[in-house]
Amino acid sequence: MPKIGEEREPLSEPVFLILTSLAEEPRHGYALMADIDALSNGRVRLSTGTLYGALSRLLEAGRIERFASDDTARDKRWYRLTPAGRALLAADVERLRQLTRAASARLRTKEV
């Protein structure tokens, strides 16, 4: 079973947004949902099924990690990016840049 990003597979949008959210600062699951909603201008609203599934895969792949926080209220589970997770996001940003560059160029060649 290949871990997330191990085979240079493209990141799914949910995973991309989770990493992007955590790139700013550590968050717990529920805060991630709210941040990603805002971050995407309301376009992406993760269901808990998507969120917690992705989080456990990212944990297993070592792209994020849990840590203890002072804020122990309500059994929150805090996650932060690992260096590997940050690198993965950076690599995927580069992939997307190439994709958009190529597509834009070709859309321009035959503008309707």
Partner DNA sequence: GATTATATGTCGTTGTACGACATGTCGCAC
Partner DNA sequence: GTGCGACATGTCGTACAACGACATATAATC
Q: Which does 8 bind (CB under 5 to 8 A by kind): its own copies, DNA, none?
A: its own copies
Chain residues binding its own copies by CB under 8 A are 8, 10, 13, 16-17, 19-21, 23-25, 39-41, 43, 83, 86, 89-90, 92-93, 95-100, 102-104, 106-107, 109-110, 112
DSSP 3: P
DSSP assignment string, 61-77: TTSEEEE--S--GGG--
Interface with DNA, residue 59, by CB under 7 A: no
Q: In what order do the strands lie in the sheet with 27-28?
A: 27-28, 78-81, 64-67
DSSP 89: H
Q: Single out the residue of 67, 69, 76, 91 in contact with DNA (rule: CB under 7 A).
A: 76
Interface with DNA, residue 1, by CB under 7 A: yes
